[in-house]
Each structure stands twice: as C-alpha cells, then as structure tokens.
Amino acid sequence: MKSVSDYLARSDYSSSLEKVTGENPSALTVSRVFYSKLVSRCYHLVRISSGPSRNLLEAYLERFLLEDLKRILRAKHAGGAVETSSLIVIPKGYDHHIDLKAISEASTLQDAIDLLKNTRFKGVTRLMPIYQKYGLISLIEAFIDKTYYDSEVIMSIGGVPDKSTIKDMIAIEVDLTVIKTLTDLKGRGVAAEAVRSIGFRPMKLKADELVLMLEGNSDSIPEILSRTRYADLSQPIRDALDAGKEESLDHVIRTEIHRRNKSLMIRYAATLAYVLGYVREAETEATNLVSIVTGKELGLPESKIEAALSV
C-alpha cells in the first residue's frame, strides 16, 4: 500500500495524500482521498458553468449521491451497518433532498425504502414484493439507476449546446446499463414480468430488441445483441456468462462505456460532451485506483487486480 501512495505522491493527489497519517494507511483511508479528489474536480465544473449546461452537469453528478444511496441499501440488504467513512462526501447543497443520514440509520431495508417515499424514487416501494420474492438488491439498484437517467439526466438535456451529441453519450450509458441489468437478472432466474416492472427505457436499443431480451434467457442475450447496434458486445458478454461471475459482466460493461466515452471525447473536443466525458474519465480513474489499493490490501495477485480495471 505504501508503494502505491509513494507513486501517487508524484501526481496531483500528492497534497491530499500528505494528510493521510501512518506508515501504511488502509485502503479505505486512501480511497477517501480518491473520492474527495473526484468530487472536487467534478463539482468545480458545476461552479464555473451556467444555464442549461450547469443544470445538466448538476443532474449528471447526482450519480455520486446515488452511489452512496446504493451502498447504504446494500448494507441494509445484508443486515449490516454501512461504513459511513466509505461514502462519497457530496458538497453541501447538492443532496437533492435525499437524507442519507436518516436512511443509513434506518433499522431495516424496508424502513430505508420508506424514507424514499417523498423523493423521485418513491416508485421503488412497489418493487419491494418482487425484491422479497427474489432477495436481490440489484432489483432495487436497477430502479434507482433507471429513475436517475429518466427523471434527472435525460430531462436536463433540453436546451444544452450540442444536444444530439450529448444524447448519444448518455444513450451509451443508459443502454449498456439496461443490457447489463437484464443479463444479470435473467441469469439469476428473475421472471420477465418482474424484470419488466423496473420500467426500462433504453434510448437507442430498439423496443423489439428489448422485448426479445426480456422474454429470452440470459444465454440468448449475446445472440440477440449480435443483431443490434451493440453487436461488438456480444462475444464479451458471452465470455462473461461462461465465466459465471457477476463482476466479469460488470467489468465488460464498464470497459465498453469507458471505450465509447473516450471515442466521443476525442471526436467532440471543446464541447459539453467533452466535459461529461471528463466526468466519466475522472470517475473511472477513481474506481480503478480504489480497485488497486483494495486489491493490494487483500494480497490479490497483480494479474487479478489488472483484470478488474477499466482501461
């Protein structure tokens, strides 16, 4: 761990890492530095923006708040307490009326979900019977992701410059997130009607393609994808399914979003699309660094750590 900190001391993380005490700080302690830098970089963009561009950036950055929310709900699902020091600290004024402290202090997952009734995520309450049937917190997380894109990000695109390019960039995230969630839930034996109740609304994936994936099983999804605009994902997803690991599927999707995002950034430099791409790149960097220090602390072989990175 110390070797990682020493290496990063030559980067723009240096001033923050100097404040980390101890000869060999824990992965959690160092990860807080990464998340703090991520938030600082991204919310600086909000502060120097204005008009529709600022509105979109602020909506897009709600992803960090919702990552905290999902971490808390995962802990409730597992019957444990959330490690608050592991949460991403959001600047004051950007909490979007979601009381994470109250949710983290809720006794049960149901109590935590009840605290969302007065937020845009109130619809998650109707998923609780399905959650109770299958015992999968990913059902709840999928609804949170869907609501984030539908009611926050997509609704904020209107009026921004380079609107069509922004829509293309957001569509990649939305559609690939839908594909990942569908593949995962179908692989876990969740019925089509239960998956449909999440209310997926892909942007570029066609309605008939979505229906085929909903009605088939997880093994049929790579074949269906081979006939869509996302055909290049067919084989990587098939390989992930053969590996039988959820993290393999997640890695495939994260890496593909990262690859397509970088391509759009290069093509549309000096536009708002580049700024959104920068946020994704900063997020990817932080996620990769957290994976590295966590893997080092756990004593994982270097090859396994590298395989988890989005590059």
Query: Helix/strand/coil (H, E, C) string of 253-296?
Result: HHHHHHHHHHHHHHHCCCCHHHHHHHHHHHHHHHHHHHHHHHHH
What is the per-residue pLDDT for 5?
A: 64
What is the per-residue pLDDT for 84?
A: 78
- What is the rounded CA–CA span in Å between residue 297 and residue 26? 7
> What pTM, to 2 d.p., does this model score?
0.91
Most confident of 4-18, 94-108, 160-174, 236-250: 160-174
Decide whether 50-160 matches 161-268 in CATH topology.
yes
**The domain made up of 50-160 is a member of CATH 1.20.1690:** yes
Position 3 pLDDT exceeds 70: no
Position 1 pLDDT exceeds 60: no
Tokens of 165: 């390019």
Ordered by start, the domain boundaries in the chain are 50-160, 161-268
**Fold classified for 161-268:** V-type ATP synthase subunit C fold (1.20.1690)
List, for residues 120-172, the tens digit of each pLDDT value.
Answer: 999 999 999 999 999 999 999 999 999 999 999 999 998 998 899 999 999 99
What is the per-residue pLDDT for 29?
A: 86
What is the per-residue pLDDT for 2?
A: 59
Mean pLDDT, the chain, integer? 91
